[in-house]
Amino acid sequence: MVGLLNKPGYRYGAYFHIPFCDTKCVYCDFYSLTNHDQAVRFYAALKKEIPLRLLADPIDKPISSIFFGGGTPSLADPADLGDCIRILADHVPIVQNAEITLEANPGTLTPEKLTSLLSQGFNRISMGVQSFSDDDLKFLSRIHSADTAKKAVNDAASAGFSNISIDLIFGLPGQSAEAWKRNLEQAVNLPISHISCYNLIVEEKTPLFSWVKSGKIQVPDEDHNSELYEITIQFLRENGFEHYEVSNFCRSGKASLHNSTYWSWDPWLAFGPSAHGFNGTTRYRNFRNLGRYLEFLESGKLPEEERESLDSITCTNEKLMLGVRTVEGVNIEQIWKDLTAGDSKNLRHKLDWFEKKGYLNWSDSFLKATPEGLRFGDFLAGELFIDPAV
Ligand SMILES: C[S@@+](CC[C@H](N)C(=O)[O-])C[C@H]1O[C@@H](n2cnc3c(N)ncnc32)[C@H](O)[C@@H]1O
Ligand code: SF4
């Protein structure tokens, strides 16, 4: 099974959304609350949700990865998270070497907590570092300093985590190419095996959005962001990281199994408010509201707000979009049967053209980006989109 987990088609993930944070960061649009009054009720409800979800969406493969995201799951009592893993394991098989990740804010980790997380079964930690500049961290309203973040990474390694990832954000207001490169230099000197580098998104309804809209803050233009992205790719490659998805880089063999599940069109279960799941044909989403979420589960109902069975063109478009964003790619065997003769001819023509350019590889059964093509993943995805109305 170990080798098979690296292949699309053999994976089934489980995502748990923990909706609490210490403070709300000015750029963040994820569903999270700074009022923790309902935390005890929430963990009780989350544990009840597991068997209910499995009744609605039974799974046909063992679970290969579990990911606790948020919000700030590292604020939770590790025993509550461990209970969720054990309840899941009581209902479905989990592969022996499953990847079990905790998303963590470095400002919430202590050596004791890290040891406790290991004993609950976690074997991977993904830390939201964002920057190694204290000025950037203050601007982003993070609760930690650069030194705290470095200490948290080192503490995780000393505790026994051999799979540590960090998130960084580039394209911050006033961030020069040199300043961004200094971030990368500090990152690669830490005991990490994975880095996600995200271009700052100015999300609506965040304080950052109003500052940018009112002109109080200016974000860099696209050319500057492209330069920072190119620096990222080159620097991380030179320092032993493989670029395997548009925003993700890893040391050999340390790609995120859980995120690869999303990117290769494999299914995953979802638990917690605002969580999205996919069972292979149908997508669902839970209420993005803790009150509604609790109300439903406490009366024995699944807290699902939306459920959508995907039509064949939507499936095709999603597979194409995902396929051109990873070097692992997606299985596209099915899509030719679902396309009209005209769409199929047109798509084959475009795929041939991008293959000649060296941006992707394809056959009748798979589609994947080349390392060169990854830098244009978003552009390629737009070019391959099939308009259902035509
Ligand atoms: C759900 S957040 C959770 C991580 C954890 N709560 C923390 O912040 O430390 C996952 C990652 O998304 C990225 N992110 C969140 N909002 C973003 C935005 N507006 N633009 C770019 N990246 C963002 C950050 O790098 C963050 O670490
Ligand atoms: S800690 Fe993470 S999830 Fe919470 S508000 Fe900040 S970025 Fe968002």
Residue 168 has pLDDT above 80, yes or no: yes
Q: Could you report the per-residue pLDDT of 55-87, keeping only the tens digit for each?
A: 999 999 999 999 999 999 999 999 999 999 999
Q: What is the pLDDT of residues 224-277, one digit of tens each?
A: 999 999 999 999 999 999 999 999 999 999 999 999 999 988 999 999 999 999
Give the full edge-to-edge strand order of the sheet including 330-331: 330-331, 366-369, 360-362
Scored b (16 or more CB within 10 A) or e, 61-97 reads bbbbbbbbbbbbbbbbebebbbbbbeebeeebebbee
Whether the per-residue pLDDT at 105 is higher than 80: the answer is yes
Q: From the CB of 95, is ligand 2 less than 6 Å away?
A: no
> What is the predicted pLDDT for the residue at 195?
98
- Which ligand does the CA of 68 lie closest to? 1
DSSP states along 202-261: --TTSHHHHHHHHTSS----HHHHHHHHHHHHHHHHHTT-EEEETTEEESTT---HHHHH
- Give the pLDDT of residue 338: 83
pLDDT for position 378: 85
| 3: pLDDT strictly greater than 80 | no
Question: pLDDT class for 4, splitting at 50, 70, 90?
Answer: low
> Of all protein residues, whose CA lies closest to atom 8 belonging to ligand 2?
28
Query: Rg of the Cα trace of the chain?
Result: 21
Q: 47 pLDDT band (50/70/90 cuts)?
A: very high
20 vs 190: CA distance, rounded Å: 28
Q: Which pLDDT value is given to residue 23? A: 95
pLDDT tier for residue 333 given thresholds of 50, 70 and 90: confident
Residue from 34, 105, 200 to probe ligand 2 pocket by mutation (most atoms less than 8 Å from CB): 105
- Beta-carbon contacts of 368 under 8 Å, excluding residues fewer than 6 positions away, are 323, 326, 327, 328, 329, 330, 360, 361, 362
Contact criterion met (CB below 8 Å) for 47 and 83? yes
Domain-wise residue ranges, the chain:
4-263, 312-383
The candidate with the shortest Cα–Cα distance to 388, out of 337, 354, 340, is 340
| Exposure on the CB side of residue 187, measured as CA atoms within 13 A | 33
H-assigned helices in the chain = 39-56, 78-91, 111-119, 134-139, 146-159, 177-188, 207-214, 222-238, 257-263, 290-298, 312-323, 335-338, 341-356, 371-374, 377-384
pLDDT of residue 389: 65
- Per the prediction, the chain carries an average pLDDT of 94
CATH topology of domain 4-263: TIM Barrel (3.20.20)
- Look at residue 200 and tell me whether its pLDDT is greater than 60: yes
Tell me what the mean pLDDT of segment 37-59 comes to: 98
pLDDT greater than 90 at residue 361: yes
Nearest CA to ligand 1 atom 2: 70
Range ranked top by mean pLDDT from 188-202, 307-321, 333-347: 188-202
Enter the pTM of the model: 0.95
Ligand 1 atom closest to 29 (CA): 16
Residue 372 pLDDT exceeds 80: yes
Tally Cβ neighbours within 10 Å of residue 217: 18
Q: Other C-beta atoms within 10 Å of 265: how many?
A: 20
On the question of pLDDT at 5 being above 80, the answer is no
Nearest residue by C-alpha to atom 15 in ligand 1 = 28
Pick the CATH number of 312-383 from 1.10.10, 1.25.10, 3.30.505, 2.60.40: 1.10.10
